[in-house]
Amino acid sequence: MNVLILGSGGREHALAWKISQSSSCNKLFIAPGNAGTNLVGINKNIDVTDFNEIKHLVIDEDVEMVVVGPEDPLVNGIYDFFKNDNDLNHVSIIGPSKEGAQLEGSKKFAKEFMQRHNIPTAKYKSFDKDTLQEGYDFLETLSPPYVLKADGLAAGKGVLIINSISEAKSELKSMLLDSKFGQASSTVVIEEFLDGIELSVFVITNGDTYKILPTAKDYKRIGEGDTGLNTGGMGAVSPVPFVDRFFMEKIEQEIIKPSIEGLKKENISYKGFLFIGLIKVGSEPKVIEYNVRMGDPETEVVIPRIKSDFLNLLKGIKDGTFSEKDLNISEDVAATVMLVSEGYPQKYNKGYEIINSENCEGSIIFHAGTTKDEGIVKTNGGRVIAVTSFGKTLEGALAKSNKNAEKINFQGKSYRKDIGFDL
């Protein structure tokens, strides 16, 4: 079958790398892709939210499945666009409907969904410009730190964790009245701060049954020891060592099952990935957020640990055989280290030549912000390359990734040498 992957990051390179290995994969397209995806498929320079251009590509190239990497096309309704078009409704979209994508597109929707289905999460209330005073009053009932979340998509920047009540109030006002995060903060969720260790679980569902993919933990802060600004993710490990069989069982019964059942009960079409961000408070898992896609860089450790044919599993969603398909996971530990541009996550320059990315023995190199320009691979984003390795132990996997992270070079390269430090 011909497959199209939407997106251009390390996540999409990891998905393309895996899908290209399937005996069921005929032509593989990635839009817009990067210099790495072009090694395993054919890049098409189309924006992920340009549904009409995507339609032309799908028809011209006889694409039967579209795997959606990032959240934007999902929140904008690519699933519904395909379903409602007679020329496209035979194509399988791996990703939820617009309504299902609200689990990520609206924090308020997600919180209300969790409440309806008794899914453990932080206590919360939501506010808009007409209920600012009630927001101040609610803050007074909480103890610091205060967690303020813009309701809508804010490119990963919409969550504020603030120690002082006066600052929390002034930020709330700026989100609601001064559009601090634009339209995304016209509604704000205020929630109780949860103190614990974070992890992520990933589920793939056909809307009826589900399979649990490997767990992962990502490292979001730019600086070693989890300091400094938030980024998209500086590295990740899989599996998460503190998740034993009992804790996983708890996550499945209290969170995964009611989430999938809840979608079904509410008649929300959902055939795709569900990424559940969790925090372990004492021995209890609580949901911090849902994402309706895979994580990046979590995908760069989750997908390589899957031994079975992943496209075959996705085909099961299309042809109704999903529950019979195998999902075999490697026992090995995977770790990834992200090489980033100097200045990231703030202002950075692009266009620097990347050297030594081809010969990194012992690691898999997933491109993120890269491009090929006149035959030369160059930096093209803040997060540039993810270096993934396997090991019998986390230390072993990290040693290989760190060695190759050292070897690959471009002007201004930086990376965290302490991925997994807290495990």
Residues 284 and 216: their CA atoms lie apart, in Å, by 17
Q: Is 381 in the site for ligand GLY (CB under 6 A)?
A: no
Compute how many other C-beta atoms are within 10 angstroms of the C-beta atom of residue 275: 23
Question: Closer to ligand AMP at the Cβ: 41 or 233?
Answer: 233
Tokens 């992957």 belong to residue: 5
Question: Which tokens sit at 124?
Answer: 């919360």
Q: Is 216 in the site for ligand AMP (CB under 6 A)?
A: no
Asked whether 114 and 266 are in contact (CB, 8 A), the reply is no
Selected from 171, 296, 300, 309, the binder of ligand GLY by CB under 6 A is: 296
From 96-104, 129-137, 203-211, 295-303, span contacting ligand GLY (CB under 6 A): 295-303
Q: Which of residues 297-336 bind ligand GLY (CB under 6 A)?
A: 298
Q: Is 214 in the site for ligand GLY (CB under 6 A)?
A: no
Selected from 99, 151, 171, 191, the binder of ligand AMP by CB under 6 A is: 191
Question: Closer to ligand GLY at the Cβ: 44 or 221?
Answer: 221
Q: Is 306 in the site for ligand AMP (CB under 6 A)?
A: no
Which of ligand GLY, ligand AMP, none interacts with 122 (beta carbon under 5 to 8 A by kind)? ligand AMP
Question: Closer to ligand GLY at the Cβ: 2 or 76?
Answer: 76
Task: Spell out where 306-399 has E strands.
Answer: 333-340, 364-367, 370-373, 376-379, 383-391
Task: Provide the 3-class DSSP secondary structure of residue 421.
Answer: coil
DSSP element (H, E) containing 277:
strand 272-281
Q: Which of residues 222-251 bind ligand GLY (CB under 6 A)?
A: 232-233
Q: Is 105 in the site for ligand GLY (CB under 6 A)?
A: no
Task: Spell out where 90-220 has E strands.
Answer: 92-94, 124-128, 146-150, 159-162, 187-191, 197-205, 210-212, 217-218
Residues 88 and 67: their CA atoms lie apart, in Å, by 14
From 12-20, 189-197, 253-261, 319-327, span contacting ligand AMP (CB under 6 A): 189-197
DSSP element (H, E) containing 113:
helix 107-116
The count of chain residues that interact with ligand GLY, using the rule CB under 6 A, is: 7
Residues 53 and 55: their CA atoms lie apart, in Å, by 5
Selected from 190, 278, 288, 302, the binder of ligand AMP by CB under 6 A is: 288
Calculate the alpha carbon distances from 4 to 54, 341, 366, 387 in Å.
9, 28, 18, 24
Q: Is 171 in the site for ligand GLY (CB under 6 A)?
A: no
Question: Closer to ligand GLY at the Cβ: 92 or 121?
Answer: 121
Q: Is 136 in the site for ligand AMP (CB under 6 A)?
A: no
Least Å distance between CB 289 and ligand GLY? Answer: 8
Question: Closer to ligand GLY at the Cβ: 152 or 295?
Answer: 295
Q: Is 218 in the site for ligand GLY (CB under 6 A)?
A: yes
Q: Identify the CA nearest to 110 among candidates 66, 134, 75.
A: 75
Q: Is 151 in the site for ligand AMP (CB under 6 A)?
A: no
The footprint of ligand GLY (CB under 6 A) covers 218, 232-233, 291, 295-296, 298
